[in-house]
Amino acid sequence: MTAQVFIGARVFDGLQFGPGPLRVADGVVTGPGEGSAVRLDGGLLVPGFLDLQVNGAGGRMVDGTCTADWLAEMCAVHARLGATGILPTLITDTAEATAAVIAAGAEAARRQVPGFLGLHLEGPHLDPRRKGAHDPALIRPMTEDDLTLLLKAARQLPSLMVTLAPSSVTAEQIGRLAAAGVVVSLGHSDCTHGEAQAAIAAGASCVTHLFNAMSQLGNRDPGLVGAALTAPVHAGLIADGIHVAPETIRIAMAASDRLFLVSDAMAAAGSALTEFTLNGRRILRRDGRLTLEDGTLAGADLTLPQAVTVMLRLGTPPEVALAMATSRPAACLRRGDSLGRLLPGRAADMLHLADDGRLLAVWRGGERLA
């Protein structure tokens, strides 16, 4: 591949803005040198975004019928939307569906599917009191067989994130998962602050979609929200202007420098769908919202570039808003040494954004996708 030199845009390396231009050769970022010029009309050249909570795309959800081919297609759809690396996410389902998705993910990993970072299993070991759009009939405590399956999956996948509630697991189970490299994330839980702290002490290192489907910050019990904002854990945030109020986002940003953006995208992503099904229930797409027929939010109609735009409108410094979609999720996965930065030797997965965060172009491995 001919070396290319990208000029005309400010370069953000994942942590900070630096001097341009940026040179790419053989699909990776390199040091200074010659190459054919790629002229960008202003804007920002940034690392490809990383989305750790992606439930579907192109009209289909992650479910027990998924194959490695479908996961590859899903990764391709989200890459064109700005997320060049994703964790396909299975929400609460049967044990058989969970095993099938893990098998598909293991095959995708063996094939080294571009953009496939691993899997996120959001449930089924949750708290029915904070079920959100999850089917309460499928929520259940973790068994030894469940734990064995997850430990095996951790060996087969590049990364594995598991969202669980402290009430559905034991501290020992959390510890064994964390010791195996699983990113244990607390969510869909009505736990007390003390219970959240105990789970974090056992090995939990993340909180799923902060503020949504969890015990809130109270004057006498800070709940899971309070633990997320005061403990050394990462936390995903759905910044669509619907799931979390702007003022609440500002408060959270002032309290923690470990928040990262997630889309919580569903089957509607990258499609013109106006409705789809989830565990046999209709999901309606209206006015930027995805809801069950009773109005319960069911994921988000959002891309990460749109989330960055929301954060910029809230007054977030650009380098912080962009890090929330690049280096911070990489750090959450403990893969900051290979993901989320535009540095010499790293894959040239890049986005060209307008100054307000709008997506203008996508490259993966130096090849333009959109």
* DSSP collapsed to 3 states, the chain: CCCEEEECCEEECCCCEECCCEEEECCEEECCCCCEEEECCCCEEEECEEEEEECEECCEECCCCCCHHHHHHHHHHHHHCCEEEEEEEEECCCHHHHHHHHHHHHHHHHHCCCCECCEEEECCCCCHHHCCCCCHHHCCCCCHHHHHHHHHHHHHCCCEEEEECHHHCCHHHHHHHHHCCCEEEECCECCCHHHHHHHHHHCCCEECCCCCCECCCCCCCCHHHHHHHHCCCEEEECCCCCCCCHHHHHHHHHHCCCEEECCCECCCCCCCCCEEEECCEEEEEECCEEEECCCCECCECCCHHHHHHHHHHCCCCHHHHHHCCCHHHHHHCCCCCCCCCCCCCCECCEEEECCCCCEEEEEECCEECC
Catalytic residue among 127, 264, 301, 349: 264
Q: Is 264 a catalytic residue?
A: yes
Catalytic residues, which ones?
A: 264
